Chains A and B, each alone.
Chain A
Amino acid sequence: MKITPRKLVLEASPYLFILPFVIFCLILLLYPVVYSLALSFREATVETFVSGEMPFNGLTQYQAALADPIFWRALTNTLLFAFFSILFQFTIGFLLALLFQADFPWKNFCLAALLVPWVSPILTAANIFKGLFNEVGPINRLAQLIGLGPFPWLADPSYALPATIVANIWIGFPFNFILLYAGMRSIPEDVYEAAKIDGAGFWQRVGFITLPMLKPVTVAVLMLGTIYTVKVFDIVWIMTGGGPANGTHLLSTYAYQVGFSVLNFGEAAAIATLLVLLVLLLNLVQFLLQRGR
């Protein structure tokens, strides 16, 4: 076969198409990730950062992080934050998706409106809930109307963490909703019809048809939800800044504080690495659970 210039261009073109992307990946994705990992084994504090040495000192950063009670608090908070966020986001999203399987007037309008919390910037949502959970804000007023509270929402860690979770549920439920909604729509009609003829009621159809047939979508939604929730930074940073008394830190906000407030970049990188390991571990667990079933 003769190699013509034209044929050469044709064969080489896919590589030319992906070349800018590959260069971007190497410089701005792979290099920072490797750098961050390497940094976690180095002493990178104010002094060494200015002098530019950043000497290797093994696992010192990891030991320092693991010896700090705030780290364990942040780890527990991250797990609680993720678990309750996903539980409620999924439940609300699932019930809404069921509701929207019916046809009714204003359906498309309501569907679009329900996407607002999700597409809005997280900053907007965090600011809103900072106001709603204000000591003299609307939520405490409503609570007082029914004879409860006022609660020290953002002033006490045991109330502040749930408050940030509520904000995160609000941001994330539409994502669960549209994915589950689309998943339910793709279940063939005749399966339901057959069940109806056999006398299955509405909730029986949900339990024996919708849930099992929705499993691939459910798995995708839960995995994506875990990834996004464990990464959350803005909500907690804006609503509580990790306080009061470092009681509401997530691993992400704690790593940021150690890096950019304490200026200990080495330890911050170590915490960030541990956070990545947590994300990978949670995904592995979900993957195995889904396989085992």
Chain B
Amino acid sequence: MNSIPGRWWLTAVVVIVTAVLLSPFYWVLVGSFMTPAELFGVNQSFWPRNFVVENWSKALERLWPHVRNSLLISTATSIGTLLITAPAAYGLVWKKPIGRNALSSFMLLTQMLPGIVFVIPLFIVFSKINLVNTMFGLILADMTFTVPFALIMLSAYMKELPYELVEAALVDGAGPFRAFLSVVLPITLPGLVTVGIFSFLMPWGDLLFALSLITESSLQPLTLELYKAFGQYGIDWGFLLPGSVLTAIPALIFVVLASRFIVAGVTRGAVK
């Protein structure tokens, strides 16, 4: 390591830099308890003069049905993604079937494609087969994002699998599916959890697909209801700011619980 000597001032520098870089998040956090007058008034404060808890209670009340929609959409996307990609990543890495390289290249290519390439055809095709304004349609659309990503990441995990264990299970008479369920899945559990969480967070924050595919208000996810804070006659800040914090909560929980795994997972998936 090329480290700089001297400990105490280094900590001071890092803490200050971190604080500056995170100040936008601080602003939304305290701002969610302020009235618009205080938020954008002449004397802006760094701490709410009186905590306006109503911002939060109103936002929660309005957003709750949409939080439920988002939970459903994200959970289904995450599970669906794992069901498709976990066996596939294993099959591709383990026996290297014909067409493997073509599939891998195609996955990398789809990672490069902007969402707009998918959203136009999906909208037209889903309109024809009545999948617009259904949760199922939105889940399928979200999976066009999560599946390539999940496959690339899981392949990296599957490469490190001790295949002697699989072979041993097969020699002992287990079928290939039995071996997959009782040997492969338990060993790759950390990878599956990480990829599952990413596949949950992507649809949770999605705006593009929801905006294009869901117009029925009762089906709209959290992000879309929050987007309505941008009205024709201005922005409803008292709703927008607590809603923005609320939208970030799953990601925040994730960071707190798993920062170490994110660093490991991201570097593994990206560099290898």
Given contacts A21-B147, A22-B103, A107-B14, contact A272 B271 (CB under 8 A): no
What residues of chain B have their CB less than 8 Å away from a CB belonging to chain A?
1-5, 7, 10-11, 13-15, 17-18, 21-22, 24-25, 27-28, 31, 39-41, 44, 83-85, 87-88, 90-92, 94-95, 97, 103, 106, 110-125, 140, 143-144, 147-148, 151, 170, 175-177, 180, 201, 204-205, 207-208, 211-212, 223, 226-227, 229-230, 235, 237, 240-241, 243-245, 247-248, 251-252, 254-256, 259-260, 262-263, 266-267, 270-271
B24, closest chain A residue (CB): A128
> How many A-B pairs with Cβ below 8 Å?
301
Given contacts A128-B27, A181-B263, A185-B1, 13 further A-B contacts (CB under 8 A): A21-B85, A101-B2, A101-B4, A102-B10, A104-B7, A106-B14, A121-B248, A123-B207, A184-B2, A206-B2, A217-B271, A231-B113, A238-B207
B residues near A216, Cβ cutoff 8 Å:
271
User: Measured between alpha carbons, how far is A119 from B263 in the docked complex, in Å?
Assistant: 12
B residues near A98, Cβ cutoff 8 Å:
2, 4
Q: Report yes or no: A170 in contact with B24, Cβ–Cβ below 8 A.
A: yes
In the assembled complex, the CB of B84 is this many whole angstroms from the nearest CB of chain A, namely 5
A residues near B11, Cβ cutoff 8 Å:
104-106
User: Measured between alpha carbons, how far is A11 from B160 in the docked complex, in Å?
Assistant: 22
In the assembled complex, the CB of B177 is this many whole angstroms from the nearest CB of chain A, namely 7
Mind listing 28 A-B residue pairs with CB under 8 Å?
Answer: A9-B176, A10-B170, A10-B176, A17-B88, A21-B147, A29-B110, A31-B125, A35-B121, A101-B3, A112-B256, A114-B18, A115-B259, A116-B25, A116-B255, A119-B252, A120-B252, A121-B201, A123-B247, A127-B240, A131-B28, A131-B39, A175-B266, A187-B2, A189-B1, A216-B271, A255-B120, A259-B116, A272-B114
Q: Report yes or no: A231 in contact with B115, Cβ–Cβ below 8 A.
A: yes
* Segment from A56-64, A66-74, A132-140, A155-163 that makes contact with B: A132-140
A20, closest chain B residue (CB): B84
Q: Report yes or no: B212 in contact with A32, Cβ–Cβ below 8 A.
A: no
Interface centre among A18, A20, A116, A181 (most CB of B within 10 A): A18
User: Measured between alpha carbons, how far is A234 from B207 in the docked complex, in Å?
Assistant: 7
In the assembled complex, the CB of A27 is this many whole angstroms from the nearest CB of chain B, namely 9
Q: Mark A21-55, 1 if CB is under 8 A from B, else 0.
A: 11011001111110110010000100001000000
B residues near A175, Cβ cutoff 8 Å:
266
A108, closest chain B residue (CB): B259
B86, closest chain A residue (CB): A17
B residues near A129, Cβ cutoff 8 Å:
24
Those 3 A-B pairs whose CB atoms lie nearest each other, nearest first:
A121-B205, A17-B91, A21-B88
Given contacts A120-B248, A123-B226, A131-B237, contact A21 B122 (CB under 8 A): no
Q: Report yes or no: B120 in contact with A220, Cβ–Cβ below 8 A.
A: no
- Whether a CB of chain B sits under 8 angstroms from the CB of A87 is no
A residues near B208, Cβ cutoff 8 Å:
233-234, 256
In the assembled complex, the CB of B110 is this many whole angstroms from the nearest CB of chain A, namely 5
In the assembled complex, the CB of B135 is this many whole angstroms from the nearest CB of chain A, namely 16
Interface centre among B24, B212, B243 (most CB of A within 10 A): B24
A residues near B85, Cβ cutoff 8 Å:
21
A residues near B3, Cβ cutoff 8 Å:
101-103
Q: Report yes or no: B10 in contact with A275, Cβ–Cβ below 8 A.
A: no
Q: Report yes or no: B114 in contact with A104, Cβ–Cβ below 8 A.
A: no
- Whether a CB of chain B sits under 8 angstroms from the CB of A79 is no
Interface centre among A31, A92, A127, A280 (most CB of B within 10 A): A127
B residues near A234, Cβ cutoff 8 Å:
207-208
- Whether a CB of chain B sits under 8 angstroms from the CB of A179 is yes
- Whether a CB of chain B sits under 8 angstroms from the CB of A90 is no
B residues near A44, Cβ cutoff 8 Å:
124
Given contacts A18-B88, A275-B116, contact A127 B266 (CB under 8 A): no
In the assembled complex, the CB of B211 is this many whole angstroms from the nearest CB of chain A, namely 8
Q: Report yes or no: A119 in contact with B267, Cβ–Cβ below 8 A.
A: no
B residues near A107, Cβ cutoff 8 Å:
14
In the assembled complex, the CB of B106 is this many whole angstroms from the nearest CB of chain A, namely 7
- Whether a CB of chain B sits under 8 angstroms from the CB of A283 is yes
- Whether a CB of chain B sits under 8 angstroms from the CB of A143 is no
A residues near B114, Cβ cutoff 8 Å:
230-231, 233, 252, 272, 275-276, 279
A residues near B175, Cβ cutoff 8 Å:
6, 9
Q: Report yes or no: B27 in contact with A138, Cβ–Cβ below 8 A.
A: yes
In the assembled complex, the CB of A11 is this many whole angstroms from the nearest CB of chain B, namely 8
A122, closest chain B residue (CB): B205
Q: Report yes or no: B14 in contact with A110, Cβ–Cβ below 8 A.
A: yes
- Whether a CB of chain B sits under 8 angstroms from the CB of A84 is no
